[in-house]
Structure 1
Amino acid sequence: MKNPMWRNARLCSPVLVLAGGAAFAQTEAPRLEPVVVTATRSAVPLREVIADVTVIDRSVIERHQGGAVADLLRRVPGVQMARSGGPAGATSVYIRGGDTRFTAVLIDGVRVDTQTTGGVNWEAIPLSQIERIEVLRGPASAVYGSDAIGGVIQIFTRRGEPGTQFDVGLGGGDYGTVKSDASVSGKYGRVDFALSGLSEQSTGFSTRTTGNPDRDGYRSNGGSGRLGVDVTDGQRLEVSALRSHVDGQYDPAPVTAADDHALHDLESVSALWAAQWLPEWRSTLSFGQAKDHYATRPNVYTTDTRVRTSTWQNDVRLGKHTVNATLERREDHLVNTDVANAVNTRTQDAVALGWGWRQDGLAFQVNGRHDRNDAFGSANTGSIGAGVDVAEGWRVQSTLSNGFRAPTVYQQFSAEFGNSGLKAERSRSNLELALHHRAGAFESSATVYRNRITDLIVFGEPGPCSSEFGCYSNAGDATLKGVTLTSAYTADGLRIAGSIDFLSAKSMNEGVERRLARRAPRFASFNIDKDLGDTTVGAQWQVSDKRYDNVANTTVLGGYSIVNLDLQHKLSSDWRLLARVDNFFDKKYQLANTYVTSPMTVFVGVRWSPKI
């Protein structure tokens, strides 16, 4: 291993993962167990979830305000990121090595996706509007249907709490960066509300290693809102909405002298009716719509995706048993100059069932789902998981599951490149085995996983489409397997967490095995925070092995090691000072070939958060 910092991380890993908890147990403070909904679509204490889940709360998000959502996510175990240039550049997020389109993304329960190459436009999601993020690693198609081959990321915006809460933030930093956001939320009687807005801009830096040396900055604005009414005890109505607009400068390939811009617009709206009919029976009826608009200028290209979902979910709790039954309908609609209007809409209907049982340190979870897509056929998915406390502080859990990703409307019906005969990509015999240990203030885990994906959709040789350059086709398989080691210590205002991922992400096409592009076989992230009176200081250290930038494995992206620092100081009961330094040692590295990443940047801001 040529990277000396990676060697240091490798030497530290046994200490972080295997160190005994006895030395830490003496000063542990009581901790509230987070409740997550992403694993089963029902609220379950994190400790009882038979899945690999990470929760990012508002306190962490606030201290990361200088960055973007994807930068925050790569602190999460099992997650890597690639980006073409600055924060507004095209961004991919890989969970356990799975392509970005293999992650189902929801905002307040609304499915967000694009129907061109698939996956969400991460650069269009505004970080300042987010209250909480739940990251589920591993296939979850038995719960969510298409897309969830690699995992699920669910984003929650703010919700009103009793009283009136104001939150205003203003900050600036290098490269002309200015960010501001403001929100007001509250709850009075049976009505709660939250309303917020944001504005950001940066002159940026030149994002290409060759060609046009102009700066590639961005401007963005947006907002979100939520209104809820507890009509009666056990009956709740809620509506929510989010909108984001990003205008980012970029240099295309081949690079030109033009001032090129990429325009992203993301919208999501939802309506929900939750009813507690009986102490044992709760139902939720929800409707959601997400729109994703992408355009470039002066070179004209436009594509619009609309995803509509309707869901009726029923949860029945009988003692230690929980039964879930869900009916869901999804409609994908694409407007693109290369897709015929007659075939730019498709529907997908699904029925899903789940059963869970938890008692005395033993838990089982079984889920099954049937999806019927009017464009490619049906898919049956399922998962079975079990967890058991084998000794005090020790827990073993395992899941076996499968999943699928439907081809996009563009991949099937593009007039030039589409293939109407495409099959869904399939995740088969995904196996996960995890060992968790908790001793006082110390927690650690080791997770082993294997995920085989067949019928990969690739752009390859000419075939059934009209293009002489190539068509979309089901060609080749991929195998994603690895080990994730994590460890955390929390006590006396000190929080230390670390993870190391050993990943083998390879594809097999025509008998040739190659590593999947832009995924490092070894990646580590270490975080430390310390409360010092009214001040909290933190540091993050991320280390990546080398990666290949292309499918042929001929272009190498070198390994890197970066350090980020942050500080939060309480000026008064209502005022806080925030400061952050990203890439403290000004490391020059690449996440995509010919694109540079952000140099060292400093961001300083203040927040005013009075409560009436």
Structure 2
Amino acid sequence: MNFSFRRHARPLMPGLLTLAWAAAAWAAPADTRLEPVVVTPTRTPVPLREVLSDVTVLEREDLQRRGAVGVADVLRAVPGIEMNRSGGMAGTTSVFIRGGDTRFTAVMVDGVRVDSQSTGGATWEAIPLSQIERIEIVRGPASAVYGSDAISGVVHIFTRRGAPGLRGDAGVVAGAFNTVTGDAGISGGTGPFDFAVSGQTARSDGFNARPAGNPDRDGHVSNGGSGRFGLALGEAHRLEASFLRSHVDAQCDVSGVTDDHCVHDLDTARVAWSARFVPEWTSLVSFGQSDDHYETGPSAYITDTRVRTTTWQNDVQLGSHGFNVTVEHREDQLENTGLLGAPIQDRTLASLALGYGWRNAGRAVQVNVRHDEESDFGSATTGTVAAGADIAAGWRVHASVGNAFRAPTLYQRFSDSGPSAGQPALKAERSSSNIELALKHRAGAFDSSITAYRNRVADLIIYGAPGTCVSTWGCYGNVGRATLQGLTLATVFAHEGLRVAGSIDLQSPKNADTGRVLARRARRHATLDVQQELGDTTVGMQWIAASKRFDRETTDTVLPGYAVVNLDLSHRLSNEWRLQARIDNFFDRKYQTAGGFNTEPQAAYVGVRWTPSR
């Protein structure tokens, strides 16, 4: 990669100077932080410091700061992630991890795979932010653990879970565009039983996201809920059931007429049994199902995706050696009136995954291999080898190499509607080689990292000119290659009520055939997040910046770069009541993440949250 300071780093100087000020203003005290534990990188609990992947964890406090905005708005402030939205606050949303397409990210909700077999990838606008307790983000290919979809990374979303005692929680927020949101939940546990149930509702008149083609406001209404229930059968066995429900009815700009509506429903459910037959062996059997429904009107279009996954996971720990054997069966089903020959198409994937991990005295090795056998397009074998070591006090290095794949969607293979047609013989998109090298440093209140990566993707599926398919308009085909490479610098400083987190991404996600940067991906993007506790009040500032981007690979339309500042405040009124306020896009910057669609102008919101003592 050929990056120059003048071209790539100079526009980011405001954020760099703020980070430098924070570093100079505070001494580095002794490190007394508790180490969080994550499960997503290997499907087994591992202390975050020992993980051989590029991982970020977002807790509920991080999510509540963003109020009524969606999950993708929170993720865009995470290193290595970009977001674009076509429409209002509930419009079609894409998330790019390390420059990869939105369909290259595997998304889980409480262990349930969420996907669309029409567009490919999760429908981010349908995931309710208020129901989430924690998000674990893994950057980099993970098909050796999760199979199809995980070419660029994995996002695992966890809803609330019960704990001993009884606790309630409720909040309401109101503000710009006549926006009102509310959520409430209750959780607890007694004896062997624990539970957590919550619900949310929201409405907004929205703003005019597409003034050139559709003069109406793009508002939305939404509601939903989630629940998790657990029952311990002695010390060695546990039964758990969970569900999530989300309904979004958004005004959108599909056909160009006034008052187009896009309705999106997302449902997930899971039952699981975990057991420890002997101290060294843990077993987990689970069945999960997700249903994704999308419908537009008055221009009628309906598509339904169902994903069913049955998993049997076994973990054996023998001293410093860990072994994993996972057997998985997945069923994908798409119902769409534009499918060739039949309105319903389906397929199955049978998988066997093996893992080995060794951790001892600051050194670690992780090896994963997985074989997926698909009922139609064939098979895929993926693997990852990673190693890491402490090289000096506070310094750690890790490296990995691996591959990944994304199975073609059922729509890409069997569609026959209007201007597009599928190709039943499509091959899977494949990350043929991903190389990653990271250096991490921890000293007192500072936790910093620099990560370099290169991910080569072959057999990209694109929509192109008419070919051998039945359509005279155009066909899907395996005709593309991409190289996703870049450098991520991130740091966090936390001391005595001040927290400063910043990141800079210098990346080159290119079409390897044409040399053009992939659509809507910036060569440079950065974030800065500052929080300061002042007694009962906490104030915060978030700065998000991105350089110019091409709106599409096939045109020279450029979306200018931008920098947005958001402000937030939280004030404790009492032990149970908290006042919350925020201003999004404080300087009212006008910018676009998708051509022709405006983003949210300056908007203020205020609310209260009630959290009674246990």
Mark yes or no: TM-score above 0.5: yes
Aligned to 2:224: 222
Question: Which amino acid in structure 2 is aligned with residue 218 of structure 1?
Answer: H
Q: CA separation in 2, counterparts of 1:441 and 1:24?
A: 8
Aligned to 1:136: 138
| Contact 2:493–2:500 (8 Å) recurs in 1 | yes
C-alpha deviation, 1:343, in angstroms: 6.2
Q: CA separation in 2, counterparts of 1:22 and 1:176?
A: 41
Where does 1:37-436 land on structure 2 (aligned, <5 Å)?
A: 37-252=39-254, 255-256=256-257, 258-339=258-339, 340-341=341-342, 344-416=345-417, 417-436=421-440
Q: Deviations over 1:78-130 (max 9, x none)?
A: 00001012221000000000000000000000000000120011000000000
Question: Residue 456 of structure 1: SS of its match in structure 2?
Answer: strand
C-alpha deviation, 1:488, in angstroms: 1.0
User: Relative to structure 1, is the Cα distance of residues 260 and 15 closer, same or farther in structure 2, using a 3 angstrom cutoff?
Assistant: closer
C-alpha deviation, 1:463, in angstroms: 1.5
User: Relative to structure 1, is the Cα distance of residues 378 and 343 closer, same or farther in structure 2, using a 3 angstrom cutoff?
Assistant: farther
Q: How many residues align?
A: 607
Aligned to 1:538: 540
Q: CA separation in 2, counterparts of 1:404 and 1:393?
A: 35
C-alpha deviation, 1:18, in angstroms: 12
User: Relative to structure 1, is the Cα distance of residues 130 and 20 closer, same or farther in structure 2, using a 3 angstrom cutoff?
Assistant: closer
Aligned to 1:24: 27
C-alpha deviation, 1:515, in angstroms: 1.1
Q: CA separation in 1, counterparts of 2:214 and 2:107?
A: 34
Alignment RMSD (CA, Å)? 1.9
C-alpha deviation, 1:551, in angstroms: 1.4
C-alpha deviation, 1:508, in angstroms: 3.0
Aligned to 1:487: 491
| Contact 2:336–2:343 (8 Å) recurs in 1 | no
C-alpha deviation, 1:341, in angstroms: 3.3
Q: CA separation in 1, counterparts of 2:69 and 2:243?
A: 23
Q: CA separation in 1, counterparts of 2:585 and 2:14?
A: 23
Question: Which amino acid in structure 2 is aligned with residue 568 of structure 1?
Answer: S
| Contact 1:17–1:444 (8 Å) recurs in 2 | no
Q: Does 1:470 align with 2:470?
A: no
C-alpha deviation, 1:252, in angstroms: 2.4
192-201 or 207-216, larger mean C-alpha shift: 207-216
Q: CA separation in 1, counterparts of 2:310 and 2:91?
A: 32
Aligned to 1:440: 444
Q: CA separation in 2, counterparts of 1:393 and 1:5?
A: 29
Question: Which amino acid in structure 1 is aligned with residue 10 of structure 2?
Answer: R
| Contact 2:178–2:205 (8 Å) recurs in 1 | yes
Aligned to 2:552: 550
C-alpha deviation, 1:15, in angstroms: 8.2
User: Relative to structure 1, is the Cα distance of residues 325 and 18 closer, same or farther in structure 2, using a 3 angstrom cutoff?
Assistant: farther
Q: CA separation in 2, counterparts of 1:399 and 1:5?
A: 26
C-alpha deviation, 1:11, in angstroms: 6.7
Q: Deviations over 1:214-249 (max 9, x none)?
A: 111000000001110001111000000000000000
Q: CA separation in 2, counterparts of 1:5 and 1:187?
A: 52
Q: CA separation in 1, counterparts of 2:15 and 2:267?
A: 44
TM-score by length of 2: 0.96
Question: Which amino acid in structure 2 is aligned with residue 316 of structure 1?
Answer: V
Q: CA separation in 2, counterparts of 1:18 and 1:140?
A: 37
Question: Residue 49 of structure 2: SS of its match in structure 1?
Answer: helix
Aligned to 1:452: 456
Q: CA separation in 1, counterparts of 2:109 and 2:405?
A: 21
Where does 1:562-577 land on structure 2 (aligned, <5 Å)?
A: 562-577=564-579
Q: CA separation in 2, counterparts of 1:424 and 1:315?
A: 30
| Contact 1:190–1:230 (8 Å) recurs in 2 | yes
Q: CA separation in 2, counterparts of 1:384 and 1:15?
A: 37
Aligned to 2:525: 523
| Contact 1:514–1:553 (8 Å) recurs in 2 | no
TM-score by length of 1: 0.97
Q: CA separation in 2, counterparts of 1:387 and 1:15?
A: 31
Of 591, 594, 606, which aligns to 1:592?
A: 594
C-alpha deviation, 1:481, in angstroms: 0.2
C-alpha deviation, 1:9, in angstroms: 2.0
User: Relative to structure 1, is the Cα distance of residues 247 and 599 closer, same or farther in structure 2, using a 3 angstrom cutoff?
Assistant: same
4+ runs deviating over 4 angstroms: 3-6, 14-23
User: Relative to structure 1, is the Cα distance of residues 553 and 438 closer, same or farther in structure 2, using a 3 angstrom cutoff?
Assistant: farther
| Contact 2:564–2:586 (8 Å) recurs in 1 | yes
Q: Deviations over 1:50-87 (max 9, x none)?
A: 00000000111111113211110011000000101222
C-alpha deviation, 1:483, in angstroms: 0.2
Structure 2 spans left out of the alignment, 5+ residues: none
C-alpha deviation, 1:342, in angstroms: 7.8
| Contact 1:86–1:204 (8 Å) recurs in 2 | yes
User: Relative to structure 1, is the Cα distance of residues 599 and 373 closer, same or farther in structure 2, using a 3 angstrom cutoff?
Assistant: same
Question: Which amino acid in structure 2 is aligned with residue 365 of structure 1?
Answer: Q
Between the aligned residues of both structures, percent identity stands at 57
C-alpha deviation, 1:209, in angstroms: 3.2
Q: CA separation in 2, counterparts of 1:577 and 1:11?
A: 30
Question: Residue 103 of structure 2: SS of its match in structure 1?
Answer: helix
Q: Deviations over 1:409-437 (max 9, x none)?
A: 11111235010110000001100000000
Question: Residue 530 of structure 2: SS of its match in structure 1?
Answer: strand
User: Relative to structure 1, is the Cα distance of residues 129 and 148 closer, same or farther in structure 2, using a 3 angstrom cutoff?
Assistant: same
Q: CA separation in 2, counterparts of 1:489 and 1:176?
A: 37
Question: Which amino acid in structure 1 is aligned with residue 487 of structure 2?
Answer: V
Q: CA separation in 2, counterparts of 1:148 and 1:609?
A: 37
| Contact 2:336–2:344 (8 Å) recurs in 1 | no
Q: CA separation in 1, counterparts of 2:522 and 2:273?
A: 44
